[in-house]
Structure formats: structure tokens, C-alpha cells
Structure 1
Amino acid sequence: MTQIRISPATDQDIPELNRLVNRAYRGESSKKGWTSEADLLGGLRTDEDALRTMLENPNVTILTYKESNHLLGCVYLETKGNNLYLGMLTVSPDAQANGIGKQLLAMAEQMAINQGCRTITMTVISQRHELIAWYNRRGYQSTGETQPFPDDPRFGLPTQPLEFIVMEKLIL
């Protein structure tokens, strides 16, 4: 029987999280899934130091999704007042379209409710139309706000001009 566990990441998860996130977002391996950024960005999506810094922030939780102790997904959540910021929703390219992303999103929404947050916000690269549509089907809407993509190679090397749209879902 497959054992599924969604729980907060620890320092011991960092190497595996790093491999998962980079494999899911960038490079040839990411093209096995439907959420790849490989045609928009080169370079790495994150590294172990960045993940460690995230986990050191007391307002941050990275939820992990494991099946039989094998990491298949994660999501970054940061509490900012009465808002929960959601980012880095990741599912292994080989496991996409199996409901893992939906389960992680549901856990994030429950966490927002438990913390008394009024909204969940996120930023999505505007060219990622399929992903935006996926979030729309789950109640997230564009706020009309845009943000520039960082001019910093730590976030990737754009192959074209990129910007983020801000999406939001009211929780309470």
C-alpha cells in the first residue's frame, strides 16, 4: 500500500528538494511534464543555499509531498500578515497529472485558513498560459498587477523578456 505524506520540509530534505525543483522546472527532464519553464529560462531554478535560507525564515514553510518516502512534490508558503504567498509549486515531471499539485494546493489553502489569512497570492510568468489556466480553474484570478522578472542569474537566464502576473484567491 502506498503511503502518502504531506509535511513541512526539514534541512535533511534540502538536497532532494533541490534536485526535484530543478528537474521539474528547467532542462530536458522538465519537458516530460506540462509545467516546464525550459523554453523560457535556462540555468537553475534554485540551489541548496537558497532553499536553506528559505527554511531559516520563521514565516516560511515548504510543504513536501512524499509517496512511500519518495519526494514527488513541494510548495513554498510564506505568511505575510493576513496573506499567504504561494510559490515554487513543484511536481516531479514523471508524476504530473496525478493530482499531487491539487493536493499540495489544498493543503496550502487549509494552512491559510488555519492561520487566519484572507488571501493567497502568487506570481506566475505571464507566458505560462497553461499554468495560469490551471490556477484559474482553482479559483485564482489575476489582480491586474505585473512585476518584472528579476535581473539576477540566481533566478534563471531568460531566453526572452519575461514578467510576472500577480494572482490571488480570497480565502476568508
Structure 2
Amino acid sequence: MNPSIRSAREGDAPQLVELYRRSYAENAKIGFPSSILDCDEGTIEQWIRNRTVFVATHDEEFIGAVQLIPRPEWELPEIGRLAVNPDWQEQGIGRTLLESAEEHVKSEGWGTVRLRTLSDHPFLEDWYRRCGYERVGVQRLDNRPYDAPILEKKL
């Protein structure tokens, strides 16, 4: 299944709120709460203005999203907030979004990209490793019951 991938627009905020809440609720159920569960349209609109946000659609339904987040402290962009509607998981949507973000990073002249994931998650870090990422560090999170492994990929 090949979804359509496009840049998000501010008018997409209501659908993105629903997508993010639904997608990240699955992680919360297994012990990985996220502040994104409290996101609202204003937050999403701000992300769209200040970051590169891609959405995956199928027949105009929002089925996934990913963001490129500026990280001056890393001197590299970060791929983040990858979300796939639970009804569409395990169909290659996440990989397609990840590859789209990587291609954009590469087209901007970057040779490396980073992302953060969830320590001890049952499959995320392994999935990113299969996508070519390697762990380069860990960010300690005081406000969460988990830490955030930092993964990197040469493009």
C-alpha cells in the first residue's frame, strides 16, 4: 500500500490531533505515556509553522504523520512524532513516512539524521535498527517512566 505523502497545512490540525491522540494512546496503554496525548489544534498549527510535518493519506483519510524537528544542540535534524493510525499499522506506512523524512533531510544537504525512541519498548528500537539506525546515546527523562535512546543514521 502506497499512501500519498504531502506537507501538512494548518487546516490539517484537527485531523492531526485525532491521529496523534489515537496513535499514541496505544503506547500509553503499554506503559509509555506521552505529552502528545494532550496536544490541541493550536499546538499542531505551531508545529506546522515551525517544523517540517508530513502527512500520509489514503482516500483523504489521515493515516500517518512524521515531523522534522530542528535540534541546534545536535547540529542535526531530528525525525520525531512518527504516528500511524492503529488501523493502518503493519502495512509499511511508518517506513514510508520515515523514508520520506530521510529523503527530505538528504535533499536539504544533511548527511546524518537522528531520532529518539522509547527505552524498553517491545518493538520500536528494533524496528528503527532494521531501518538502518544505530544507538548513539540515551536521553534521561525525569518526567517519564522510561528514557529516550538516541538513534542516528547516515544518509
TM-score interval for Structure 1 and Structure 2 normalised by the shorter chain: 0.7 to 0.9
Shift of 1:119: 1.1
| Closer/same/farther in 2, CA of residues 111 and 133 from structure 1, 3 Å limit | same
Identify unmatched segments of 5+ residues in structure 2.
none
**Structure 1 unaligned runs (5+)?**
31-35, 152-157
Matched, 1:74 2:55: no
Deviations 1:73-95 (A, max 9, x none): 00011244662210111110010
Q: Which has the higher contact order (CA 8 A, sep 6+)?
A: 1
Q: Secondary structure at the match of 2:19?
A: helix
Aligned to 1:33: none
Paired residue type of 1:67: H
Deviation at 1:109, TM superposition (A): 1.2
8 Å CA contact 1:83–1:118 kept in 2: the answer is no
**RMSD over aligned Cα atoms:** 2.1
Residue of structure 1 in register with 2:22 after alignment = 23
Q: Which 4+ stretches in 1 moved above 3 angstroms? A: 79-82
- After TM superposition, the score normalised by the length of structure 2 is 0.87
| Count of equivalent residues | 151
Q: Secondary structure at the match of 1:53?
A: helix
Structure 1: distance between partners of 2:38 and 2:79: 16
Q: Percent identity between the aligned chains?
A: 28
Query: What pairs with 1:1-172 in structure 2 (closer than 5 Å)?
Result: 4-26=3-25, 30=26, 36-40=27-31, 41=33, 44=37, 46-57=39-50, 60-80=51-71, 83-143=76-136, 145-149=137-141, 151=143, 158=144, 161-171=145-155
Structure with more helix by fraction:
2
